[in-house]
Structure 1
Amino acid sequence: MDWIQATLLALLQGITEFLPISSSAHLILLPVVAEWEDQGLAFDVAVHVGSLAAVVAYFRRELAAMSRDWLASVVQRRTVGESRLAWAVLWGTVPVGLAGLIFKGFIEGELRGPLVIATTTVVFGLALWWADSRVRGKRDEHTLRWRDVLIVGLAQAIALIPGTSRSGITMTAGLLVGLSREAAARFSFLLAIPVIILAGGLKGVDLVTAARPVDWSVIAVGTAMSAASAYLCITAFLAVIQRIGMLPFVIYRLVLGAVLFALFAG
């Protein structure tokens, strides 16, 4: 990889990981459109580590309270402070973890094509628009019921299909169960932490077994650029989403889907 490729891919990962527009779709499609060779497992792991560092840094106070209260709830066998939200994040991760283990091979072998990405980009973009326009929830993430957690968790499992957008579909589900836009986004971002750890861990195992040489300078740049852009993206998104809504991202997805169909349908 050259420095331009590494920089653009890292920025793309950081920006799109937490926006409802699908980071996996962009990371798969940019090399195809630009006629680049695949960036490789090491770089994929690096940019995901950068995204993880960003979301942990942004929610560091909440995560500290959630971890402390979760441990207390295990010991005391009752709800303690932020333990309910911590359990919601953990249980909301179970469906995607199981689905990833069961369907990983099929998804990577059969569902990474441009037309699949184009279709899911449009379909789940319209689902996001429908949820945002029909529901005006006011609840925050601390009021989630277990049924709500199950719905959002199952939605997150669907996001294993490239182009769906993990952030997009979990925000859609959050809106449908009555969360406000900001609360749906915050819960989606918290759910990203165990998912990125799981995905990065699987890729890390593949990387170790592949035993290929690694350009550590490119890896360092990719990690740093991904972390910085992801942190800025989270900050900006949460600052404006309650006011602007999801429509700009829906329009972007529809345009992107149309472009993909135009490029690859023939």
Structure 2
Amino acid sequence: MGWIEAIVLGIVQGLTEFLPVSSSAHLRITSALFFEHDAGASFTAVTQLGTEAAVLLYFAKDIWRIAKTWIVGIWDRSVRSSPDYRMGWYVIVGSIPIGILGLLFKDAIRGAARNLWITATVLIVFAFILAFAEYWGRQTRTLPRLNMRDSVVMGFAQAMALIPGVSRSGGTLTAGLLLNLTREAAARFSFLLAIPAVVMSGVFSLPDVFAPGEDGTSVPSGPQMVVATVIAFGVGYAAIAWLLRYVAHHSLYAFVLYRVALGSLVMALLMTGTISAT
């Protein structure tokens, strides 16, 4: 992996991680279109550490308050009625599906699921599901009204993002809207829910990212990996602030149209042989 590739993919990761357009799909498509090989699922997982560091910084006060209340609540029953204590459990329980499914289907996620025909199809199909959720969801429930059922449903929605093209944020936003959460409430919980899953995935993928792959994946050097991750952090931090402001005042239909257009473009490039599906 060259320096330009590392920089470009770092920017792509930071720009798309928090938008409902699938960062893994964008990394896969960008790699195929401009660099003629797949950077790999492990590269995606590690650069996500940069974007999750942005989440930790942006929501530092909320995360500290939730974590402290949850720890105290284990021993002190008087704080267990606190919204922050319950939120701690919601994040933990909601993170279980992606952890289990990620381990069970690890090989498929790193191999067959990265076929660009699948990515393009999923981009389009889930665009229509997101559009339905935006249209049908009543958006009457704010974050304090979140419950354990919501966390489980959104946790399984997050797990679907193991397939490039679904989008972790898109899946959780869609599920949140179908549960009648406001866009902003769904987005905020989506950010918190991603922390355990993405951090653990990135840490476990560190040894793999530098191992030569048999599937054509490129292998970055340590400095290139660091630079890509740092760039993803900086761009991702700006993207968080922008998305929270955007969803508070706008619908998600623009992302729906973008997903359909991108999926259709990828299919056209595949059919003309411009890029390879594998």
Band the TM-score falls in, shorter-chain normalisation: over 0.9
The question of whether the paired residues in 2 share the 8 Å contact of 1:43 and 1:222 is answered with: no
TM-superposed deviation, 1:169: 0.7
- % of aligned pairs identical? 39
Aligned residue in 2 for 1:161: 163
Alignment RMSD (CA, Å): 2.2
Amino acid at match of 2:266: L
Is residue 248 of structure 2 the alignment partner of residue 246 of structure 1?
Answer: no
Distance 2:253 2:157 in 1: 20
Distance 1:230 1:166 in 2: 14
Amino acid at match of 1:178: N
Alpha-carbon displacement from aligned partner over 1:122-154 (angstroms, at most 9, x marks no partner): 111111111011112132222112111111111
The question of whether the paired residues in 1 share the 8 Å contact of 2:211 and 2:219 is answered with: no
Is residue 103 of structure 2 the alignment partner of residue 101 of structure 1?
Answer: yes
Alpha-carbon displacement from aligned partner over 1:217-255 (angstroms, at most 9, x marks no partner): 323321221101000000001012121210111110000
- How many residues get paired? 266
Distance 2:255 2:264 in 1: 14
Aligned counterpart in structure 2 of residue 181 of structure 1, from 180, 183, 187: 183
Residue 100 to residue 42, structure 1, CA distance change in 2 (3 Å): closer
Residue 253 to residue 209, structure 1, CA distance change in 2 (3 Å): closer
Aligned residue in 2 for 1:49: 49
* Farther-moved stretch of structure 1 (46-55 vs 58-67): 46-55
TM-superposed deviation, 1:209: 7.1
Aligned residue in 2 for 1:76: 76
Aligned residue in 2 for 1:196: 198
The question of whether the paired residues in 2 share the 8 Å contact of 1:46 and 1:220 is answered with: no
The question of whether the paired residues in 2 share the 8 Å contact of 1:70 and 1:86 is answered with: yes
Alpha-carbon displacement from aligned partner over 1:152-198 (angstroms, at most 9, x marks no partner): 11111211111110110110001111110111111111111111112
Distance 2:221 2:92 in 1: 35
Aligned residue in 2 for 1:16: 16
Is residue 117 of structure 2 the alignment partner of residue 115 of structure 1?
Answer: yes
Give the gaps of 5 or more residues in structure 2: 213-217, 273-278
Distance 1:34 1:206 in 2: 23
* Farther-moved stretch of structure 1 (234-243 vs 43-52): 43-52
Residue 219 to residue 35, structure 1, CA distance change in 2 (3 Å): closer
Question: Under a length normalisation based on structure 1, what TM-score does the superposition of the two structures give?
Answer: 0.92
Distance 1:175 1:69 in 2: 28
SS at match of 2:174: helix
Residue 31 to residue 10, structure 1, CA distance change in 2 (3 Å): same
Matches within 5 A, 1:199-210: 199-207=201-209
Aligned counterpart in structure 2 of residue 227 of structure 1, from 233, 236, 242: 233
* Farther-moved stretch of structure 1 (239-248 vs 102-111): 102-111
Distance 2:178 2:59 in 1: 24
